[in-house]
Structure 1
């Protein structure tokens, strides 16, 4: 069976690249239509009389025109899968994803792997859908306090791990970061995978990596959110992030940032849903988990490195936040690595 797909006003270079990929990777015959000039009435007539498996738009140009045609396709041919090429994630595109008006954003410069996946799915006649877990994560982060999102972190990561391959983990998580932060500039802050590559190659275990990434993602988001409201918090978070291993008391952070302790406490509580001290404890526990996973450090060493007065107090805080003791956590990640290693 011949499946039809349609290109709407794609630039010639992009169109040529797609045609080459289709020819090389399509498992069934895909007939390609290329439309360079098409008004709304013509688009309506086209989709009334023809069924297209997929429609491709370039969102960097003719945004308004593209949105109109996307709406027409949704009304007349709801089974048509819509893909949008864009050089960045925008609020408009995220809204289209959230309301399921488009099926995928393909970031440019063009990724061969992304396009190959789309072409394969089209030729297999599979139903391609927006990843609901990522959409839920974005809605949760945008609409809820840090505390609420953090309470669901493990559940979200558990769902994500089944959808992300360890071979492409850095690329796939970076795309999630761009979707949440909607900015290439912000997402660059999340590119910390270069330090993790050797570990990934050795252990092939993606579960903790996903959790570490999502925590950093949400932490950056909420910090930036408060900074946009109160620019003075640039200094607050800069000091906290750079000194997370030190003793971070409300009074000394406030003093370093030239604001009152009561003001700092109130704003952190309002934005994050945690007291200042609890927020710092959460960040220290997340930092400890990285030290356990990547460096295999001992509990006693990590507790002192993070400026806890006693290992027993560190273990108490860790269990209260993580739900298990540091020793139990270390055992679980060791087992996780062993299982991942056995799959090599």
Structure 2
């Protein structure tokens, strides 16, 4: 799914482009701008793969705006729109590696021909970890998906500079890409609406791992519900009782589903048992408590339905590969 930005000071032109581009399922319009400054601001907040930009606008020209956008995102492809034929602009466009120039008025045939030939080979994501995340989301092994999150997080923090803006843009591209992979027919959710991302979280790799886990969990749930609609009630029951000590019998009784059928379809979609999934979810809540509160291990075990702190220690060690004490040391 490619993110498209329309930049033109003519409202009618923006509306016409939106109508044409919206007919292509692999392209989604993430925003519109009436001038270059607005376009630059949008590109600094969200990953943009393709821009249709007017060359003559109030303030800076489309070429000037394109230069600034390319400085931050060199892989973003820009298509220039213009009612004028000017060699000076054409020369600057070539220097900016702008490959496509549309003369106004733009026809649907021109747009369709271009978009139909726009392939992944023409765009390399500014975030290589997105492809890794998409592979994990499609693995149908929830435990392997979780294990792979650490590698993604470590790569991002080792490859980025200290810029919060750069980190945020990277994580938003990954999150939005995962969300878009669900391919909603009639709606598009913004990742930061479903999963808010305060700047203060971006300095902590453990917090970002939890944030990414929540998105992966959502992806798995939605795909599973599409395949087996009865799982919607199962996930709702789990969400309502996740902090309690719950059994498989309680889940099936509360969701009106047989244990055998639930076990089969859940493993088919997640690659693990329902109870293993719940333990994984609980450990994320344990980590959240250790990160954001001063509760000790015994308090957290009691709040999340573990029999005793020693059992929580055992489950945590098995899932995380380190003890709770080691995890707390990392936070410090």
Fold in common (TM above 0.5): yes
Give the Å deviation of 1:12: 3.0
Q: Counterparts of 1:62 and 1:216 in 2: how far apart (Å)?
A: 43
Q: Counterparts of 1:281 and 1:57 in 2: how far apart (Å)?
A: 55
Deviations 1:67-122 (A, max 9, x none): 632676x7xxxxxxxxxxxxxxxxxxxxx4xx33224xxxxxxxxxxxxxxxxxxx
Q: Does 1:142 align with 2:138?
A: yes
Q: Counterparts of 1:311 and 1:263 in 2: how far apart (Å)?
A: 33
| Alignment: residue pair count | 262
Equivalent residues in 2 for 1:25-104 (5 A)? 26=67, 34-36=80-82, 52-54=96-98, 65-66=110-111, 68-69=113-114, 96=119, 99-103=120-124
Q: Counterparts of 2:114 and 2:293 in 1: how far apart (Å)?
A: 52
TM-score (norm 2): 0.66
From the superposition, tell whether residues 324 and 50 of structure 1 become closer, same or farther in structure 2 (CA, over 3 Å).
closer
Equivalent residues in 2 for 1:298-337 (5 A)? 298-334=296-332
Contact 1:9 1:37 in 2 (8 A): no
Q: Counterparts of 1:54 and 1:254 in 2: how far apart (Å)?
A: 58
List alignment gaps of at least 5 residues for structure 2: 11-32, 40-56, 72-77, 85-89
Give the Å deviation of 1:270: 1.3
User: What residue in structure 2 maps to residue 16 of structure 1?
Assistant: 35
Q: Which one of the candidate residues 268, 273, 286 is aligned to 2:284? A: 286
Q: Does 1:191 align with 2:195?
A: yes
Deviations 1:212-271 (A, max 9, x none): 111001100001011001111111111112321111211101110000111111111111
Equivalent residues in 2 for 1:98-247 (5 A)? 99-103=120-124, 129-162=125-158, 163=160, 167-168=164-165, 172-182=170-180, 184-185=188-189, 187=191, 190-193=194-197, 200=200, 205-247=203-245
From the superposition, tell whether residues 333 and 230 of structure 1 become closer, same or farther in structure 2 (CA, over 3 Å).
same
User: What residue in structure 2 maps to residue 87 of structure 1?
Assistant: none
Q: Counterparts of 1:26 and 1:253 in 2: how far apart (Å)?
A: 56
Which shows bigger deviation, 222-231 or 18-27? 18-27
Which shows bigger deviation, 232-241 or 315-324? 232-241
TM-score (norm 1): 0.64
Q: Secondary structure at the match of 2:121?
A: coil
Give the Å deviation of 1:161: 2.6
List alignment gaps of at least 5 residues for structure 1: 1-7, 39-45, 75-95, 104-128, 335-344
From the superposition, tell whether residues 101 and 299 of structure 1 become closer, same or farther in structure 2 (CA, over 3 Å).
same
Q: Secondary structure at the match of 1:152?
A: helix
User: What residue in structure 2 maps to residue 41 of structure 1?
Assistant: none
